Structure 1
């Protein structure tokens, strides 16, 4: 799956078909969703374990931290505070990674389209080499 997520065509290759682009975007969205789900489950488990929160409260806190909003409840234990700090640091980086996963195929297609060699470019190269 990782090979498909990061396998982009080079500048000299033709633009990917719409179906191919939709498949690439779908794979990246799936990878982003899996990363979000794993991160959310890890946060919920941490809050449940360290702060003895009910699962719904752990979900609310983990999802708020993961989205960059901040915790709903203050932490009361040393372990909970330590976990919340590390989870917040991880969540900031995960947010950047997930955004990159989602935007990469779109930006790559846009940049590839702008840099495609056209027939006019080929004719200009031929005239310049003569």
Structure 2
């Protein structure tokens, strides 16, 4: 009887998969917007092509590091703030993607109090 009671507290698999997909899509949107900001910023401030800006933004966002050297003060400031922003975005998206999985795991591992 306790097993049935515990199973009712856990979200059904179909709904859980929908939740994971929703969180993944939100994270993907956040990454795409961050890449767009980085691409345009590197293109405008760093005076490099859009593809090189995208390349720089992608590598910064994943923590690999910059490719092109920034020569102007504005470009260096943008690159610095974008690197800080990217670190926060990367950690946030990982947290958002794994949140429903961790939540479900905590529900599964929950041991109800004995009465």
Asked whether 1:74 is paired with 2:69, we answer yes
Q: Identify the residue that residue 16 of structure 1 maps to in structure 2.
A: 11
TM, length-normalised to structure 1 = 0.80
* Candidates 85, 91, 107, aligned match of 2:86: 91
- The answer to whether the aligner puts 1:64 opposite 2:59 as a matched pair is yes
With structure 2 as the length reference, what TM-score do the two structures score?
Answer: 0.90
Cα deviation, residue 64, structure 1 = 0.3
Cα distance in 2, alignment partners of residues 116 and 60 from structure 1? 48
Secondary structure at the aligned position of 1:68 is classed as coil
**Gapped regions of structure 2 (runs ≥ 5):** 1-5
CA distance in 1, matches of 2:28, 2:111: 31
Q: Matched residues in 2 for 1:65 and 1:77: separation?
A: 18
Match of 1:38? Answer: 33
State how far apart, in whole Å, the 1-side matches of 2:111 and 2:52 are. Answer: 51
> Runs (4+) of structure 1 moved beyond 2 Å?
none
Task: Give unpaired runs (5+ residues) of structure 1.
Answer: 1-10, 126-130
